[in-house]
Structure 1
Amino acid sequence: MTPASHDPKFHVWTVSETKAGTLTQCLGVARFIDPAPHVITVRKEFRWFKPTLSHFRDLLARRQPDAIVSCGGKALSHTMLIAGLCRSRPLTVHLAGPQPAYEDRYDLAFVSRHDWTPEREKKPHLHPVIGVSHRVDPEELAERREAARERYASAGRTVATVLVGGPNKAYLYDKATIDRLVETIRGLAAKDWTVLVSTSRRSPPELQERLSRLGETRIVIWDRQGENPFRDYLAAADALIVTKDSVTMTCEALATGRPVYSFDLAHRPPNDHLDKFERFHADMSETLGLTRRFAGSLAPYDYTSPEEARRIAAIVTAGLVQRNQGTGR
C-alpha cells in the first residue's frame, strides 16, 4: 500500500496533543489515506469556549473531514466536539486505548499490545497493534541507504546508530546511566564501529555535553543544528541501540530491518508508567522477538519489520468505503 495520491478520495483531520510522538502517530496513519491532512494540536482538554467553537466552525465551513484520527488523552474531547459539529459524522479513530468515558464513542481504536486487556477482546471496534504507528517506511530507508552508507560508512565500516531520548515518568538519566551510555558509545568506536548518535529534545544537557566532548572521528553526534539526519542515521545502520524511554523510537528503528537493542535505564520508583514501559519491552523482545536487550554485543538476528501504520490505514479506509456504500455517497 502506497500513500494516497494528491487528490485523495477521503479527507482526514488529525487531532493530537502537542507532544511530537502523538502527532507522529496520527500523521503516520493519515498519510496513507490523505497526503495533506488538516492538523490540529491541543494543549488541554476542550472547555466550552465560544472562540474555540467559532474556530472549528470556520474550518468546517471550508471542508469537512471524512475521518478524524486522534492520539493523546487531551485530544479525545476535541475529537468528539468536532465530530458533533459536522453535518455528516466523520469516522472517528483513536491511536491508543481511549479513556473509559470515550472508548465506546469512537468508531475505531487501535491499542498497543502492552495496553491490551481481555475485556477489549469483546469489542470489535478495538484492535491490538504492535507498538505505535509512525512515519518511517522500510522502502524509504532502502532508497536512502546507499547515499547514507557512502556518507557515514567509509571504507565499508559497520555502523551502529544510537537513538537517545530522555528522562520520563518511568526512567531516570542519572550519572551512572549517563556514564554507562557514554562508555557504550566509546566502546563501540574502539571496536571499529562508526557510531551515529541522535539525541532528542528530552535528552539531558549534561548528556549532550558529555557526548560533545568525546571528540572521536568514529563517533558522529548530531548537534541539533541544521537538518535532522535521523532518517539517514536509520538508513545507514547495521545495528541500532535505542534507550528504553521511547516507544516511538523503538518502533521507528524496527523499520530498518536491522538488529534493534534496547538500552537499560535507571528506574524510577515502581509506578504504572514503569510497568507499562517494561510490558512493552518484554512483549517486543520476549514474545515477538523483534528487539533484544543490549548486553554489550550487537550480534545480527532476523525479523520482519512491523508496518502498523499501513495496516491501520487499510482498516480505516475499509471502514470509510463501507460507510460510503451504506449511505450511497
Structure 2
Amino acid sequence: MRAPHTPIIAWAVTTGESGMRAQARGLAEAVADAVIEKTVGGRFAAPWAGGATADRLAPPWPDLLVTCGRRSAATSIAVRKASGGRTVTVHVQDPRWRANAFDLIVAMEHDPIPAGPKVLKVATALHDLTPTNLAEAARVWRGRLAPLGRPLAGVMIGGTTQRQVFTLEDGRRLLAGLERLRAEAGAALAISPSRRTPPSIVALLRDAFKNDPRVLVWDLESENPYRGILASADLLVVSGDSVSMVSEALCTSRPVEVFDVRSPNHQAFLDRLVALG
C-alpha cells in the first residue's frame, strides 16, 4: 500500500529582483506542492528582522528553501541552522560561499564555482515558464497581438547593468536593426522594454514607430505583455545584457537573435549553447 503523500511546502526567497524571483519560484514550483514567495533585505541583513520592503521570516520553517542571488545566501544559511537542518536549502547562482553551507547549489556553467557533490552546473538560467503558462499567456494576449499580423517578432529589451551602460547610441543601433527587420522581412514588432531600460531608449522607439500600426511598444504602465510576446512571436530578439531573458526566450523553441553581447561571461554562455547545438 502506497504511503500517503505529505505536501512539500517551499519558500522562494530573494531580494526582490524580477529575474531572481523567477528563478527561485520556477525551481520551487517544479518540486513543491505549495510555494510562498518572500523578500529579504541585503546580504548581511538579519533574515527574521523584516522591514518596510522585507518579509519577516519565522517558524514554522518550510520543507524546502530556494534562494537566488548572492545577497540572499545568508538567509539560506540562517534558516538551515534555525530549522535544525530540517529545511532543505537550495541556492541558485554562485553564492560566493563554501558549498557545504547549503544542501545544493545550482549555478550556471560560466559561474566560477566548480562543480562538485553539492554543486550542479546548468547551461541556462532557471525560470518559471512552462508549456502550460505559456499557452495561457498566448490565449490571454491573442486578441491584442493578433492585429499586428505575421510574422511577429518579439523584442525583449533589458538595459543598464552593473557591468554595462545601455546608451542612446545602443538604442539607435537596435532601432536600425528593427527597422531593417520591418522593411526586409515584413515583420510586425511587439517590443517589451524592462524596468532597466533607460527612458530615452523607450522614447526613441515609441517615437520611431508611433505611426506604424504593426508595431507595439509597451508603455511600462499597462499590463506587461512579456509572457504573451514570448508565447506568440514567430522569432525573438533579446538584448544580450540579461542571461535570464535569453534563457526564457530559448525555452520557447523560437529562433532567437541576441543583440549586443558585451560581457565575457554572457558571450561564454552563448558560445556554450552554440556548441551544444
* TM class by smaller structure: 0.7 to 0.9
| Distance (Å, rounded) in 1 between the aligned partners of 2:85 and 2:101 | 16
Cross-structure match for 1:20: 18
Indicate whether 1:160 and 2:153 are aligned.
yes
> Which of residues 1, 9, 12 is equivalent to 1:11?
9
Q: In the TM superposition, what are the counterparts of 1:199-278 in structure 2 within 5 Å?
A: 199-213=193-207, 214-215=209-210, 216-264=212-260, 267=262, 274-278=263-267
| Distance (Å, rounded) in 1 between the aligned partners of 2:108 and 2:194 | 23
Cross-structure match for 1:137: 130
Q: In the TM superposition, what are the counterparts of 1:116-131 in structure 2 within 5 Å?
A: 120-121=114-115, 123-131=116-124
Which secondary structure state, in structure 2, belongs to the residue aligned with residue 172 of structure 1? coil
Aligned 8 A contact 1:138 1:257 in 2: no
**Residues 219/92 of structure 1: CA separation in 2 closer, same or farther (3 Å cut):** same
Which secondary structure state, in structure 1, belongs to the residue aligned with residue 106 of structure 2? strand
- Displacement of 1:287 after TM fit? 1.5
Q: Deviations over 1:98-156 (max 9, x none)?
A: 21x33221111111112256xx34x2121111221111113432454466455424496
**Residues 64/206 of structure 1: CA separation in 2 closer, same or farther (3 Å cut):** same
- Displacement of 1:33 after TM fit? 2.6
Cross-structure match for 2:53: none
- Displacement of 1:230 after TM fit? 1.2
**Residues 48/26 of structure 1: CA separation in 2 closer, same or farther (3 Å cut):** closer
TM-score computed with the length of structure 2 as normaliser: 0.86
**Runs of 4+ displaced beyond 6 Å:** none
Which secondary structure state, in structure 2, belongs to the residue aligned with residue 12 of structure 1? strand
- Displacement of 1:172 after TM fit? 2.8
Which secondary structure state, in structure 2, belongs to the residue aligned with residue 31 of structure 1? helix
> Which of residues 31, 34, 37 is equivalent to 1:33?
31
Cross-structure match for 2:102: 106
TM-score computed with the length of structure 1 as normaliser: 0.73
Structure with higher RCO (Cα < 8 A, 6+ apart): 1
**What letter is aligned with 2:228?**
D
- Displacement of 1:220 after TM fit? 0.7
Which secondary structure state, in structure 2, belongs to the residue aligned with residue 77 of structure 1? helix
| Distance (Å, rounded) in 2 between the aligned partners of 1:282 and 1:125 | 26
Indicate whether 1:193 and 2:187 are aligned.
yes
RMSD over aligned CA atoms reads 2.4
Aligned 8 A contact 1:70 1:79 in 2: yes
Aligned 8 A contact 2:181 2:187 in 1: yes
> Which of residues 88, 93, 96 is equivalent to 2:90?
93
| Distance (Å, rounded) in 2 between the aligned partners of 1:83 and 1:179 | 49
Which secondary structure state, in structure 2, belongs to the residue aligned with residue 162 of structure 1? strand
| Distance (Å, rounded) in 2 between the aligned partners of 1:220 and 1:149 | 14
More displaced, 146-155 or 198-207? 146-155
Aligned 8 A contact 1:97 1:103 in 2: no
| Distance (Å, rounded) in 1 between the aligned partners of 2:46 and 2:137 | 47
**Residues 163/49 of structure 1: CA separation in 2 closer, same or farther (3 Å cut):** closer
Q: Which runs of 5+ in 2 are unaligned?
A: 51-55
**Residues 206/8 of structure 1: CA separation in 2 closer, same or farther (3 Å cut):** farther
Q: Deviations over 1:207-253 (max 9, x none)?
A: 01111112111111111122111111111111000000011111111
Cross-structure match for 2:66: 69
Which secondary structure state, in structure 2, belongs to the residue aligned with residue 9 of structure 1? coil
Aligned 8 A contact 2:79 2:87 in 1: no
Equivalent pairs: percent with the same residue? 30
**Residues 40/194 of structure 1: CA separation in 2 closer, same or farther (3 Å cut):** same
Q: Quick check: which one's helix share is greater? A: 1
Aligned 8 A contact 2:9 2:33 in 1: no
**What letter is aligned with 1:136?**
L
- Displacement of 1:175 after TM fit? 2.9
